[in-house]
Chain A
Amino acid sequence: MSDAMTRAWLGYARKNGKKGIRNRVLVVYTVKCAEHVARQIVAEARDGDVELVGFDGCTDNQYAVNQLISLIRHPNVGAVLAVGLGCEYTQPEWLAKIAADEGKPADWFFIQDAGGTAKAISRGVAWVRDALEALQQVPRVEMTFADLVIGAECGGSDYTSGLAGNIVVGRFFDRLVDAGGTAIFEEIVEAVGLDWFLTSRAVDVRVKAELQHTYDKALDYCRHARQYSISPGNFAGGLSTIEEKSMGAVVKSGTRPIQGVLKVSAFPSRPGLWLLDSTPDPYFMDFGITNPSDNEGLTDLTASGAHIVFLVTGRGNVVGNAIAPCVKITGNAETYARMIDDMDFNAGTTLEGAETMDACAERLADMVADIAEGAPSKSEALGHREFHIIYKYQDKAGCRMEEE
């Protein structure tokens, strides 16, 4: 194994046996009406480890509730405050109970009971300060790449994404899987024409059927919409077909066997490489679209337990994530130079012949270990803490088509 992949660092031990690379207080709002109060609690706590997530809808949605629960159970989260208005369907009390069952300091209240905006904010800020104190006592434990879950997606792609950015991620994912870690890739709508390639890598016949089912569902979705995940800008930039764009996207999965398909908010049940399916399932209300934004994709990867998320971009992007540090990787050296304050990693070196792909993957592994050890990613240092939780329908939170 290479030097970078043998690195170890101290993480945070959680009651469920998982290990986190951050120790964050999560403030969760349960309806849009509670967002301002929750957001002010985070702002007034003035601590980089206090984060906001929430669901806007007043009517609850199983998909969205599952996602909040998975973020609460995420190993980077140490404590949870759930804030509701007082008349919504989503129940902050039950969310706080899930956090408490995970051994995390937890509390909840309704703004109506707390006496309005100002009183609710001061109550929340006081609780968060106590929680930050309590989190100092979380036991530290040695972590290696075998403990890490890393998710990857791409956004703002150009011709370099499939030549360098996604390829270096694929090489790194091979190393991560070989080291006993867990890698998650998504964007099945960008695997058109590649069902044979994905199913040939299935770990067993059942996973092969799962992958085919997931692919067929996504292709059916594209056929009905008469729209594939490729845009005028992609064609103008030299991509000629969805298959070409797809192969450029799928290479970020590397070459190792695929362990199974995760639906959103399901955690992988064992290490290795997994496909995350964020395509909605057929449903009479038809709500939910596949990739509403890069932030939704990153939130989905985090809800599957990703400690760190990769965003591969050609044209450039600035976003981060509330729970998992976001590492922005570009294969475009010009984009890297132009947006140096936001871009974490330049894989464009490989296109100039200045670095081999293996050396580039090794450099990425070192950066991942630095960030796992506590060094902030660029978006983390800039205060980017995006999340995007939407109404969607999926058959089951669990990943399997059939019962275990």
Chain B
Amino acid sequence: MSENTAFVIDRRDNVATALNPLEPGEVRLLGDAAASFTVISEPIPKGHKLALRDIPAGEGIIKYGIPIGHATRAIAGGSWVHLHVMASNYDERSSHLDINTGAPKDTRYE
């Protein structure tokens, strides 16, 4: 699958999941999507999420039709949604993790 493709699980979702590494531009939407295309503004790694619309700070990130966390700042439609712009409503530790590798930054190695 070489073209830009992402998957929407539930019609209520405000994010989609990249099925391949996405480059800025048009993305074809599979699954339970309201539209068949969207446009993204930055590269998004495979398996990561893109915003399907503008999401104000504090609002829920919706996937599977339910909140999987909240926006920690305003998120523009078409941008990458991960640890730098959202956080868990439960797990405090995960907001300290490295955005690319997920590695913990709160444990000392010395």
Using a CB–CB distance below 8 Å, which chain A residues touch chain B? Answer: 158-160, 162-163, 167, 192-194, 197, 219, 222, 226-228, 230-244, 247-248, 251, 351-353
Contact = CB atoms under 8 A, between A and B. Distances in A.
Contacts of B18: 238
Given A240-B81, A247-B64, A251-B64, A235 B87 contact: no
Contact of B86 (A192, A241, A353): A241
B94 A228 contact: yes
Given A230-B91, A235-B102, A242-B91, 11 more contacts: A163-B9, A167-B9, A232-B101, A235-B101, A236-B102, A237-B102, A238-B82, A243-B67, A244-B69, A247-B64, A251-B64
17 contacts: A167-B9, A219-B90, A231-B102, A232-B97, A233-B102, A236-B101, A238-B18, A238-B47, A238-B48, A240-B49, A240-B86, A241-B91, A241-B94, A242-B91, A243-B89, A244-B69, A251-B64
Given A158-B47, A192-B91, A230-B94, A351 B68 contact: no
Given A235-B97, A251-B64, A351-B7, A241 B104 contact: no
Given A163-B17, A232-B104, A235-B102, A248 B88 contact: no
A118 to B, nearest CB: 52
A247 B89 CA distance: 14
B100 interface: yes
Interface of B: 1, 7, 9, 17-19, 30-31, 45-49, 61, 63-64, 66-69, 81-83, 86-91, 93-94, 97, 100-104
A330 B7 CA distance: 17
A232 B30 contact: no
A240 B69 contact: yes
B17 A243 contact: no
A235 B66 CA distance: 19
Contact of A235 (B31, B49, B94): B94
A314 to B, nearest CB: 9
Contacts of A251: 64
Contacts of A219: 90
Nearest to B102: A235
Nearest to B93: A226
A159 B46 contact: yes
Contacts of A167: 9
B102 A242 contact: no
A217 to B, nearest CB: 15
B90 A248 contact: no
Contacts of A233: 102
A240 B89 CA distance: 11
B17 A238 contact: yes
Nearest to A332: B47
Contacts of B101: 232, 235-236
B91 A248 contact: no
B103 to A, nearest CB: 5
A65 to B, nearest CB: 36
B89 A353 contact: no
Nearest to A194: B66
Nearest to A159: B47
Contacts of A226: 93
Q: Give the interface centre of B17, B83, B94, B102 by most chain A CB atoms within 10 Å.
A: B102
B69 A351 contact: no
A240 B68 contact: yes
Contact of B46 (A231, A238, A244): A238
A193 B61 CA distance: 13
Nearest to A160: B47
A192 B90 CA distance: 8
A197 B66 contact: yes
